[in-house]
Chains A and B, each alone.
Chain A
Amino acid sequence: MGTDGEALTLSTEEAAVYDRQIRLWGADAQQRMSTSRVVVVGRVRSNLGNELIKNICLAGVSSIILCSVNDVEGQGFLGDSLDEVRNSVQDINRFVKVDIFEGEEAAANEVKSSTAVCLIGFDSVPSIMSIAKSCRQGGIGLFVGECIGLFGAVFLDLGVRSYAEEDKDSGRLIEKVIDYTSYADTFDDMGVPKAPTAPGAIALGEMLRIKSNSSEDVEELTVAYARAVAEMYERTGVNGKQRLSEQHLRSFAHAARTEVPPVSAIVGGIYGREVIKYLTGKDEPLNNLFFFDAIRSTGIVECM
C-alpha cells in the first residue's frame, strides 16, 4: 500500500476531475489510489467484469491489468474483444494505465506485483487456489465476485487487515484490525464453499454447483436450485406466502446460466466500493461475504 507515496501529488487536471470524490474520501485517499495497481483476473468480458473495471477505472487507480481467463464472449458493455474492452476502459479515464493479458500464466505473474487482485468468477481460474495463496504471502488483498442469474456475491480475503475508522465522539481516526479467514480455509479446490452455515453462503455454494453442472436436465437443476433457495429463505425468515412456486424455480434454473444486467451492476457496485476501501485504507471493509438476491432486492453480509 502506498501510504508513503508523498512524492506524488495530483495534477490540477486530476484534482478537477476527481473533485467530487476527493470531497468524499479525502485527498490522501485519492493519492493512495493513484499509486495502486489492480489486477482483474478471469471473466473480464462478462458484465460483472465490465462493471467492476469501469468502477475502479473511474475511481482513478494508477493501473489496471486485465487478465482474461476462460472468458465469456463479450456480455458486457465495454466491447466484444479484449482489445475493445481495453480501449473503452482507457477512454473512460485517461489517467489510468490499462494493460491486457490472456491466460493463467500471465495472471500468476501479474498478481505478484499488484496492490489488489480481483477475480471474476469463482470457477473461472483453475489456479485460483495458488493465486489466493500468493496473495496471502504477498500481503495482497484478494476479492472474488460472481453473478449467477438473479443472485450475486463478492468474497474478500484481506489477510490481517488494518484500517482507519473515525471515532464517532472525538472525530479522530482510530486504527482497527480484522483477521480474515483465508480463501483456502473457506473454499475447496473447485471454488465451492467447504462448509457454509449462513444462508447466503449456502445459496452461493448451490448456485455454483448448478452453474458448473453441464447437464441439460432442467428437472435436476430445478431440484438443486429449489433446495438452495428454500434453505436461504428458511434461514432468513421469509414467510410461506413468499415461497416460490415450482414454475418460478424452473425459470430460475434457466436464469442461473445467464447474467442479469442490473444484478451485475449492483454486485459490481458493492465490489468496486470494497476495492476502493481497500486501496484507500478508509472505512471498515466487509467481512467477508456480500450476497445479493434480486428476487427480494436485498444484499446481506455474512462471515464465512
Chain B
Amino acid sequence: MDTVISNGGLNGLGLKKVLVVGAGGVGCELLKNLGMSGFERVTLIDLDTIDVSNLNRQFLFRKEHVGQAKAKIAAAAIEKMLHGKCKVDPIVGNIKEERFSAKFFGEFDVVLNALDNLDARRHVNRMCLNAKVPMVESGSTGYLGQVTVVHPGKTECYDCNPAPVPKTYAVCTIRSTPEKPVHCVVWAKQLFELLFGPEDESNLLADLAKNDEDAAENGATPMAEGRSLQWDRKQSSEDFAERVLKRVFWNDVLRQREVAEETWKTRAPPEPLDVLKIAKQNADADAPTNLLDQLVWTKEQNAKCIFGVLKRFVERRNDEIGNIQFDKDDDDVLAFVTSAANLRASVYGVELSSAFAVKGIAGNIIHAIATTNAIVAALIVLETIKIVTIDQGTDPKDASLTTYVKRFPNSTRRGKFLVQTERLQAPNRACFVCSKGRLELEIDLSRKLQFLIDKVVRGNLGMINPSIYATTAGNVNIIYESGEGLEPDEVEMYESNAKKSLSDLNVGSGSTLEIGDISQSLNLSVLVTHNPALGSEADPVEFSVTGSIPESASAEAPSSAVEEEALQRSNGNKKRRRKDDGVVFVPTSKKEKLQMLSDMIEIE
C-alpha cells in the first residue's frame, strides 16, 4: 500500500477492468468496496438467485428481491448506491461454462474470487493461469477469513496445495453402527438419494435396495436380488411408504443386529421400529410443520412425518423421482431427512435432533457472517489495488500477501495479531496444474470408467469437460470425450464406455492415461497401477492420486531450497486418507494454512 499511495494514490483505478466471480456475502461487500475505492469497470458473474437466508449479510438484497438473480440485483444496487460512478456489468451464469474461455478471462486486469465452492475456485485458478491474469482468492467462514493472491507462474496457484478433503465417516459406522446424530443424518441423506436421486453405485445403502425382504424378515441375511426398494411406478403411494419403512426400520435392523453381532456385546443392540404402526396409531398427533424452529420432534411426530412425506413424493412429485438432488432448502427433502435420521437414532439409542440442527449437518452449512465478509472483501480490495498499481519489475512475492482474519488474537513475539499476513510462496514444482507435474493413480481396475470420471477426474483433479486417452503397450485409445461439438454417435459410444470397467477398456497396470480438459488448457499424464484392495472393507480408500516433479524438470534444476520443499511435499503424500480422497501433494509444513483451507470447503 505504501507504493500505491506514493504512485499517485487511488487515482487511475477507474481504468482497470475487474472480474468479480460471485455475488454472495463476500461479493456484495466487495462490489461496494471496489466502487468506493474508485474502480469503475466491473464485470460480475453469479448463477444464483436470492434466498431469504441471504438477507442477514448480503446487504445489497431486499426481501422483495428473493428469487431474483443475484448478479442483476447487485449490479443495479451498486449503480444506485454510488450514483452511477461504478459501472457493474452483470452476467447470470456459471463461471464453469465454456463461453467463459481463456480469452474472456484475458480481457481483465485482475480476477477476484468471491466463491462458495471448491470446484469453481479450482476452475477459475486454471483459467487465470491460462490467461496469465492475476487472481485474488478468498474465503470466509464464521469468524475466520482468508485472502491470497495468485500471480500466474510466479507464485503458488490454488492447486499447489492439496484439495481440502470433506469430512467422511467409516462406512460401517454409517451402515451398521451409528453412534452420533451426524451418523444418522449422513445415513438419512444416503437413503434419500437411494430412493429419489439418480442411480449411484457408490451409495452406502446400495445393498439395501437389492436385498430380498422376505428372507430378511425371517432373520436370515440373503444377498439374492430382490425387488427394488425404489418406487416402481405401479405402486400406490401408501404401498411404497409401507414397503420402505418396513425394510429400512424393521428388516434391515434385524439384519444389522446379526451383521455387527460383536458390537452389541458392548453396547445395546438396535431395536427395530414399526414406523407404520406408530404413524397410524398416532393419527391425531400433530405432524411437525415448522422446519426452522429448534424443537426436537417426538418419535411419534417423526413417524408421522416420514409416512406423510414418502407418500407426498409419489403423489405430488412422481415425475421428479429418480432425479431429485439433495437440497437443504427443499422442505420435503429436509422433512424426510430429519424424520429418517431421528427414527434411525431411535432405533440405535442415539439422541434425536431438531430440523434446524439436521439442516445444518446435512447441508454442510458453514455459517457466514456479515462482519467477517466485510473484512475479507476489504482485504481483497487492498490486494487488488496493489496488483493493478505494482511497478513493472517488482517481484510479486514482495508486493502481494496472504492475509488471515482470526477469531482470537494470535500472540507472537511481535505482538498479538488479529489480522495477520504471510508471504506468498513460489509455485510448487510438483503441482500438476501450474508446473505440469506427473501423477500416479492407484485404483481397482474393475471400477467402471464412470467412477474414474466422477471421482478421480472431476472430483479429485477438478476438470469440467475431460477427455481421456489410454496408452497401453504403445497403443493409444480414445476412451472418453466430453464437452460441446461431439457427434451423436460419439456421445453414445462414450456413454457406453463409461459403463465398462477400466480393464475392459484395456487399461492395465503400467498404462498411461492422458487426461485433458481443453477449456482449462490442462493435459495430464497419469501412470496407472492396479490395486484390487482399494475400496474394500479392509481399505476403504477408493483410489489414490500422488504427484511428483517431472523428470525433465528435476534433472535440469539445481537442488534449490524451492525444490527441496516441493520434493518434501510430494513425498508427504504417501499417507492415505479416507474415502473419496486421492490425496495430492500433502505438504509437511504450513499446517495452519491447510487448516484454514479445509475449514473453508463450502462457504455460504
A interface list, Cβ under 8 A from B: 12, 15-21, 23-24, 27, 47, 51, 54-55, 58-60, 77, 91-94, 150, 198-200, 236-237, 244-245, 247-248, 250-252, 254-255, 260-266, 268-270, 272-273, 276, 283-284, 286, 290, 292, 294-302
Contact = CB atoms under 8 A, between A and B. Distances in A.
Contacts, number: 172
Contact of A24 (B3, B59, B142): B142
B421 A295 contact: no
Contacts of B414: 236-237
A198 B409 CA distance: 16
B136 to A, nearest CB: 12
A20 B367 contact: yes
B418 interface: yes
A223 B363 CA distance: 56
Interface residues of B, number: 60
Contacts of B35: 77
Interface of B: 1-3, 5-6, 9-10, 29, 32-33, 35-37, 52-53, 55-57, 59, 62-63, 81-82, 142-143, 290, 292-294, 360, 365, 367-372, 374-375, 377-379, 381-382, 385, 401, 403, 407-409, 413-421, 604
Contacts of A77: 32, 35-36, 81-82
Contact of A47 (B36, B53, B292): B36
Nearest to B418: A299
A15 to B, nearest CB: 5
B355 to A, nearest CB: 12
B374 A16 contact: no
A252 B3 CA distance: 10
Given A248-B6, A302-B415, A150 B1 contact: yes
A16 B292 contact: yes
A299 B379 CA distance: 11
A21 B379 contact: no
Nearest to B375: A269
Contacts of B143: 24, 273
Contact of A295 (B1, B374, B381): B1
Contacts of A15: 292-293
Contacts of B29: 265
A21 B56 contact: yes
Contacts of A268: 374
A24 B366 CA distance: 8
Nearest to B5: A251
- The secondary-structure label for the interface of chain B is mixed
Contacts of A27: 294
Contacts of B294: 27
A163 to B, nearest CB: 13
28 contacts: A15-B293, A19-B53, A20-B57, A21-B56, A21-B57, A24-B142, A54-B370, A54-B374, A58-B57, A59-B56, A199-B415, A248-B2, A248-B3, A248-B6, A260-B37, A262-B33, A269-B374, A270-B371, A270-B419, A273-B143, A273-B371, A273-B372, A284-B408, A286-B418, A296-B421, A299-B417, A301-B418, A302-B416
Contacts of A59: 56, 370-371
Please indicate which of the listed interface residues B143, B379, B382, B385 has the most CB atoms of chain A within 10 Å of its own CB: B382
Contacts of B371: 55, 59, 269-270, 272-273, 276
A12 B408 contact: no
A95 to B, nearest CB: 10
B482 to A, nearest CB: 36
Nearest to A47: B36
A58 B59 contact: yes
Given A236-B414, A294-B382, 16 more contacts: A20-B57, A20-B365, A21-B370, A60-B56, A248-B2, A248-B3, A255-B5, A260-B10, A263-B378, A264-B378, A286-B409, A297-B403, A297-B419, A298-B421, A299-B420, A302-B415
A270 B56 contact: no
A51 B381 contact: no
The 3 A-B residue pairs with the shortest CB-CB distance, nearest first, are A299-B419, A265-B378, A269-B375
A34 B535 CA distance: 51
